[in-house]
Structure 1
Amino acid sequence: MPEIELSAGTVSYQDSGGDGPVLVLLHGLTMDGSVWRKVVPGLGEYRVVRPTLPLGSHRGPMHPDADLSLRGLALLVGEFLAALDLEDVTLVLNDWGGAQVLLSEGKAERVGKLVLVACEAFDNYPPGLPGRLIALAARTPGGLAGMMKLSGLRLFRRGAGAWGWMSKRPVPDAVMDEWFRPAKESAEIRRDIAKYGLSLPSKAGLLELSERMRSFDRPVLVVWAKEDKLMPREHGRRLAELFPDGRLVEVEDSYTLVPEDQPELLVRLLREFVPVTAVR
């Protein structure tokens, strides 16, 4: 994969290239761009860019002094868009919702449209029981190392309250092996995860950040899974109502990872929301 040097460190990414409308697809904690592997083939006429954010599945650690807080990572997304000179981007989030802070900070000038797919929102950081367990592990000496040692177990990957709540359909073991390997093998990668997990704002601070997003007046599509175990169903409605040009679509037969559970539907929704013939 190509790499680009940003202020926090080296970020790798996948880029389909081409002259079509630009979609930047973001992933969640201890995942990488392969979470979109079922979606990308249906977007052949678009330029699809998938950075590997420093959220635990990145292959090389960030600088020791890198700001990997919620705000720091959101600004890093903005820096990534600028470094690749991407304009009028459709920014697509799933699971991790932190890039919404770009809107709160008034730094979304390169974002033409926003798609929020079953992601963290309002005060739901980190989300649900799995998120709380990661936060607890980050605060406990050796906690993240212990958690990563368990990552190969079936109970960890498909158990209720663990990764089994991420998708209704099992993610292939080979894919999950690659997601968990960096944090399992590298103390520096675990350090990066801990920096993020230990720096989340208070619930009041998170709600304030959400309220400041109202100023984003460009089109927003909210795609929410009705059966989601981690992202409250009411958050989808609240997000759509928060934005002046927001629209909600609820999805059947899916948990948080809609790109895993309902990829064909998600492709159709993206193509409707960002027509290939759109003026760029």
Structure 2
Amino acid sequence: MIAKSSGGRAVAADPTNTWRDPALGEPHEVRLPSGPVRYHDRGTGPVLVFAHGYLVNANLWRKVVPLLAEDFRCVTPDLPLGAHVVPVNRAADLSPPGIARLLADLVRELGLDDVTLIGNDSGGAYGQLVAANHPEVLGRLVLSSCETPEDTWPPSPGGFGLLKATAASAVTYRALYQPLRLRRTWRWRNTYGWLAKYPVDDRVMNSYVRPVLTRPEIRFDGRKAIGAVSARYTRDAAERLIRRRPVPVRLVWAAEDHVFPLEHAKRYATKLGAPLHTVADSYTYVTEDQPAQAAKLIAACAVDRETGP
């Protein structure tokens, strides 16, 4: 596989760590103030930008992009959250405001207009910070099974808080992820088992877990990012979104979410004055478990159509 950079430079890729589904579209690389970021681009029309969460990458969206690309331009970056391809600058700010700034910089650098940002898992937390801190780059925000003001960050169900605790030390952080070398651990509830209701393809899972296991520079970025998260960021952003409503917000939520309870989403949607739509038979990764349902709801939210019950 060869990735294309924004400057036309061909980049050799190691399929063990960097495989991305061709359904995501053409791979590119752009240099932002925080460093290089890889992204995929497919389709034409109104722009959708997808933000994933910690220890996954653009592959999270591989099933919905083909369903949306006939009507939308789908831009799917790898964020520097531990499963990415190229490290950002060593001194890059990977705190939640820093990641939000990276997303805003990406939109600006690519010259995108009237963007619908779709954030899942902690990608939704970062999305709320983009809307609160950089509303000028967005047309609307779609939150999908992510942190609300009632959720901790990292979320407490499943023991995910341990991720931040071990990030205090490079040694403990590296040790925490060693069980992921074993395929059977991928379905544990404190790894991916409470995020995806159904098993994820092995090749995709390897793209998620191998970088943090094998590449110190990627592990460095992931450790910085997870070590900096805090619910104070999302609660502050939520307060500003509720009070100021800088961009329209829509919610697309897993009906069976164990990590981000649907009841939390309902209360948040009421405060935002935002419609909430549920995806049946799914955990947090709605685009993994129910891509057709998720794509239909995302498309409707992006053009502000009614989506039905």
Asked whether the two chains share a fold, i.e. TM above 0.5, the reply is yes
1:274 corresponds to? 302
Q: How does 1:166-245 map to 2 (within 5 A)?
A: 166-201=195-230, 203-204=231-232, 206-214=234-242, 215-244=244-273
For this pair of structures, how many residues does the alignment match? 273
Measured after TM superposition, the shift of residue 32 of structure 1 is: 0.8
Aligned pairs for 1:20-35 (under 5 A) are: 20-35=45-60
> In the alignment, what sits opposite 1:4?
30
1:250, distance to aligned residue in structure 2 (A) = 2.0
Distance in 1 between the 2:146 and 2:234 partners?
14
Q: Secondary structure at the match of 1:109?
A: helix
Q: Which of 24, 48, 62 is equivalent to 1:37? A: 62
User: Which residue is 2:22 aligned to?
Assistant: none
1:226 positional shift: 2.3
* Contact 2:81–2:222 (Cα < 8 Å) also in 1: yes
After superposition, where does 1:255-270 map in structure 2 within 5 Å?
Answer: 255-270=283-298
**Whole-angstrom CA distance in 2 between matches of 1:141 and 1:54:** 17
After superposition, give the CA deviation of every residue in 1:237-259 in whole Å (9 maximum; x if it has no partner): 13312324x10112221110000
Task: Give the RMSD, CA atoms, in angstroms.
Answer: 1.9
TM-score by length of structure 1 reads 0.91
Q: Distance in 2 between matches of 1:184 and 1:144?
A: 10
Q: CA, structure 1 residues 141+272, in 2 after alignment: closer, same or farther (shift >3 Å)? A: closer
Greater CA deviation, 165-174 or 153-162? Answer: 153-162
SS in 2 for 1:150: helix
Name which of structure 1's ranges 146-155 and 166-175 shifts more when overlaid on structure 2: 146-155
> For residues 255 and 276 of structure 1, what CA distance do their matches in structure 2 show?
25
Which aligned runs of 4 or more in structure 1 are off by greater than 3 angstroms?
A: 203-206
- The separation in 2 between residues aligned to 1:205 and 1:26, in whole angstroms, is 17
Report the AA paired with residue 58 of structure 1.
H
Q: Is the 8 A contact 2:48 2:118 kept in 1?
A: yes
Q: In the alignment, is residue 120 of structure 1 matched against residue 129 of structure 2?
A: no
5+ long unaligned stretches in structure 2 = 1-26
Which residue matches 2:137? 110
Gaps of 5+ in 1: none
* Amino acid in structure 1 at the alignment position of 2:284: T
Please point out which of 274, 281, 297 is paired with 1:253.
281
2:119 matched residue in structure 1? 93
Alignment pair present for 1:46 and 2:72: yes
Q: Percent identity?
A: 37
Cα drift, residue 131 of structure 1: 2.4
Distance in 1 between residues matched to 2:233 and 2:296, nearest whole Å? 35
Output one character per residue of 1:102-150: Cα deviation in whole Å (capped at 9) or x when no partner: 2222x12121111111012224211233421211221244122223322
Offset of residue 206 of structure 1:
3.9
How far is 1:273 from its partner?
A: 2.3
Give the drift of 1:213: 1.5
Structure 1 residues 247 and 264: alpha-carbon distance in aligned structure 2, compared to 1, 3 A threshold = same
- 1:275 Cα offset (Å): 4.2
User: Which amino acid in the other structure matches residue 24 of structure 1?
Assistant: V
- Higher alpha-carbon deviation: 229-238 or 92-101: 229-238
Deviation at 1:196, TM superposition (A): 1.6
The 8 Å contact of residues 187 and 199 in structure 2, kept in 1 or not, is answered as yes
Match among 180, 197, 207 for residue 151 of structure 1: 180
* CA distance in structure 2 between the aligned counterparts of 1:261 and 1:119, rounded to whole angstroms: 16
Please give the TM-score of this superposition, normalised by the length of structure 2. Answer: 0.83
- How far did residue 205 of structure 1 move? 5.2
| Partner secondary structure for residue 98 of structure 2 | helix
- Contact map agreement 1:26 1:50 (CA 8 A) in 2: yes
Letter matched to residue 144 of structure 1 = Y
Change (3 A) 1:162 1:276: closer
Corresponding residue SS for 2:298: helix
Structure showing greater relative contact order (alpha-carbon pairs closer than 8 Å, 6 or more residues apart): 1
Q: Contact 1:92–1:115 at 8 Å: present in 2 too?
A: yes
Q: Which amino acid aligns with 1:238?
A: R
Secondary structure at the counterpart of residue 113 of structure 2: coil
Secondary structure, in 3 states, of the residue corresponding to 2:30?
A: strand
Counterpart residue type for residue 116 of structure 1: L
